[in-house]
Amino acid sequence: MSFDYHAVAGDYQYRALNSGHPMQQFWHRGKLVMIDQLVRPHLKQGSRILEIGCGSGNLLVQAGVRGSFPVGLDLSMQALTFVRSRLNEDEDKKDGISGFACIQSVGEALPFSAGSFDCVILSEVIEHLDAPQATMEEASRVLRPGGRLLVTTPNYRSLWPLMEWAVDCMNMAPKMAGEQHISKFHPAGLRDLINSSGLQVNYSGTIYTLSPFMSLVSPEWAMRFLMKELGRRSTLGMILVAVGMRR
């Protein structure tokens, strides 16, 4: 692994969500809407949720429902320390989570027994891996029957390569092209990866066709358009979104 993920601030995604460029804020806020639509409806009290490569924990915190048990896993101890502080706050709420864990590890060798989780989140992770199949198979292994795996990754058959170039040129994020992003996916390729990991594709679509650009004019219009993107299941968006279910 050539990129130093330990050099990325542990609160990077949290700051991008709350105080980044307007399009950057929308980009991260839209993923919370995705969690609300595709993950939270299938969780309940007692559900165990794992996010592999949790970063600042934006998605993991959003996924938590009353009485659930979220687990954040990441390479970066800075990120895990920040996520721990956020989950501590949620645990203290009257209607918050029932407990949590933060673990420093890698997705290729998850330190959990088979069938441990009701939901696994793998968001913008597999493009960073030389061999994403190993992490996908591990994610599948730790899911209970009927459990769901949410996967997102850039869509290289969209405007994403242009967006990646622009973000790199403007230094809006740690350099992606050629350094962080080493595995490239398109819609059929992601579905094949999920199926070959022993999961059944339950949802396949994309987000961020026009909505990020609309956010520069009206965040409200952009959010409404994002909801339509989630419903249409098109192949044109810059981020692939898929849900696999454990048989």
- pTM of the entire structure? 0.92
For residue 72, name the pLDDT band (cuts at 50, 70, 90).
very high
Q: Is pLDDT above 60 for 123? A: yes
Q: Which helix (H) or strand (E) holds 246?
A: strand 239-246
Among 244, 130, 128, 145, residue whose Cα is nearest residue 197: 244
Q: How many domains in the chain? A: 1
Give the pLDDT mean for 116-137: 96
What is the CB neighbour count within 10 angstroms for residue 191?
17
Under a CB-based contact definition with an 8 Å cutoff, are residues 229 and 215 in contact?
A: no
* Integer Rg of the chain from CA: 17
Could you tell me how far CA 22 lies from the centroid of its own chain?
A: 20
Mean pLDDT in residue range 127-136: 95
Q: Which two tokens stand for residue 57?
A: 């924990």
108: Cα within 13 Å, side-chain hemisphere: 9
Stretch among 7-11, 166-170, 171-175, 218-222 having the lowest mean pLDDT: 171-175
pLDDT, greater one: 200 or 180: 200
Residue 148 and residue 245: Cα distance in Å, rounded?
Answer: 5
β-strand partners of 143: 117
Look at residue 170 and tell me whether its pLDDT is greater than 90: no
Cα separation, 231 vs 239, in Å, equals 14
Q: What is the mean pLDDT of residues 173-183?
A: 65
Helix (H) or strand (E) holding 108, with range, is none
**What is the span of the domain harbouring residue 239?**
5-246
Task: Return the sign of the alpha-carbon dihedral for residues 101, 173, 231, 242.
Answer: negative
In CATH, what number is assigned to the domain containing residue 89?
3.40.50.150
